Amino acid sequence: MGGEIGMKRPSLAVTLVTYTYNDHALAAGLLAEAASWEGVPRECVVVDDGSAVPFAAPDAVPVPRVVRLSPNQGPARAKAAGIGAAGSRFVLSLDADIRLPPDWLVRCLPEAARPEVGIVATPIVNDAGEGLLADYQRLRYSLANGFSGDAQVAPAGVWLMRREVWQRHGFHDFAGRLHEDVLFSRTLRAAGLALRVLPGPPARQIRRLSRTTMARRGWTWQGPEFLEAAKANPIDPANALLVAVGRRMERHRAVNPAFVYYDCLYLAHALVEILTRAGYGDEAAALPAALAAILPEPRAGAYLLADLARLGHGNAPDESAGQAFPLAAALGQGLASLLPPDAGAALAAALPELAAEDAREDWDFSFYDGLPPGSK
């Protein structure tokens, strides 16, 4: 019997690399799950990227080797440190909140061995539990769901590669904190190497993000071009954002009209950021109240003000009362033009879910909450 089990679960020439930043339970859970895969990595490296409490390696086989960075360096540098520390022929880099099907590694390893392949990746489905917010995140933030073939970008949550691919083409000296997946994917494609996504069950991303963290996450990835354009003039990027979010609202409304609150929150956060970057501080301070007043459900407007305050966007100071803020008013009318006729009922339907979210205490830590302004 023991021999049969050993044959089913071989030790593979793979280094599993994962990363933790104040989310040790997720990393420990990944290590525990990896022990049950059909093929077991021969080596494990955990990068502790400046956690407040250092990561303590669990009792596992193989014994994890911990690489500690201090202070926090960000995902790109953590990946460079972890993948660079790998000693096996193959490297499997996984974010701590990723969970793979048990057969994924043995199924994908032969493809990673092919000389024309740079990375084997996989679709990633957001699986943060039940409820309106989890449903929204599954729809909005799942990556490449249903896709197979050669991709333009391999999402950084799951990378399987030969170590020599990293040694030749890795982003060893990349100074940024984020967007390493775009850089690495572009480098590999320029070298003639494929980013291969195989058919089969996707990976799951299980991190539970609050709605404010979700808004911050989305804008961290999608905002840099808008913010760069805002330095010259905030009007054009603000209008472009309104158009983009309007299209998003239409798609989301077809799935669940109550998703409109999360779209409004994202839009409000992004518009305040654009005005702030452009140097329109007074208009930015007035914008939360202007947008909240547009919502046809006053209780949803109160939630919007509270959420924007959590995101660092307080209301205009008292001494500004009675002043006119035409740009904030115009952007409020821009939001009004996007809202569907049933927005009041849709927002009312979201209220019990928003209240339940605020009562929860089990949100996972996310590095997006600790990013300094303007991180790239």
Q: Sorting pLDDT into bands at 50, 70 and 90, what band is 289?
A: very high
- The residue out of 183, 205, 227 marking a domain boundary is 205
Peptide bond into 340 cis (omega under 30): no
pLDDT above 90 covers what percent of the chain? 88
What's the CATH number where 162 sits?
Answer: 3.90.550.10
Query: Cβ contacts of residue 277 below 8 Å, gap of 6+?
Result: 227, 230, 231, 234
pLDDT tens track for 171-180:
998 988 888 9
d(CA 264, CA 215) in angstroms, rounded, equals: 10
Q: Are residues 293 and 178 in the same domain?
A: no
- Domain presence at residue 375: no
pLDDT in tens, 32-60: 999 999 999 999 999 999 999 999 999 88
DSSP 308-334: HHHTT-PPPPGGGTT---HHHHHHHHH
Strand stretches in the chain, DSSP E = 11-20, 40-49, 65-69, 90-94, 98-99, 117-121, 124-126, 149-150, 158-162, 194-197, 203-205
Mean pLDDT of 239-244: 98
Cβ atoms of 10 and 41 closer than 8 Å: no
What is the Cα–Cα distance from 156 to 144, expressed in whole angstroms?
12
**CB of 335 within 8 A of CB of 306?**
no
- On whether residue 376 sits in a domain, the answer given is no
Residues 236 and 125 in one domain: no
Note the pLDDT of residue 316.
62
Last residue of a domain, one of 157, 183, 205: 205
- Considering the domain architecture, whether residues 38 and 154 belong to the same structural domain is answered as yes
pTM of the full structure: 0.91
Domain total of the chain: 2
- Whether 312 and 263 map to the same domain: the answer is yes
End-to-end CA distance of the chain: 52
Domain identity same for 87 and 46 = yes
Is 90 a member of any domain? yes
What pLDDT shows up at residue 343? 98
Q: Which domain range does residue 314 map to? A: 211-370
Amino acid 324: pLDDT: 80
Contact between residue 60 and residue 79 where contact means Cβ atoms under 8 Å apart = no
Task: Write down the pLDDT at residue 2.
Answer: 41
Same domain, residue pair 103 and 218: no
Q: Do 196 and 247 belong to one domain?
A: no
User: Does a structural domain hold residue 356?
Assistant: yes
13 within 8 A of 90, measured Cβ to Cβ? yes
| Beta strand residue intervals within 31-138, DSSP E | 40-49, 65-69, 90-94, 98-99, 117-121, 124-126
Average the pLDDT over 272-294 and give the result.
Answer: 97
Q: Which of 64-68, 72-76, 89-93, 313-317 has the lowest mean pLDDT?
A: 313-317
Q: Are residues 350 and 329 in the same domain?
A: yes
Residues 216, 186 within the same domain: no
Task: Please write down the HEC assignment for all residues of 332-370.
Answer: HHHHHHHCCCCHHHHHHHHHHHHHHHHHCCCCCCCHHHH
Question: For position 317, what pLDDT does the model report?
Answer: 58
Cβ atoms within 10 Å, residue 199: 11
Q: Is 116 helix (H, G, I), strand (E, B) or coil?
A: coil
Does any domain span residue 313? yes
Shared-domain flag, residues 302 and 362: yes
Residues 163 and 236 in one domain: no
- Helix, strand, or coil here: 271? helix
Q: Which residue has 């140097």 as its token pair? A: 279
**Closest CA relative to residue 160, chosen from 205, 127, 121:** 121
Do 237 and 179 fall within a single domain? no
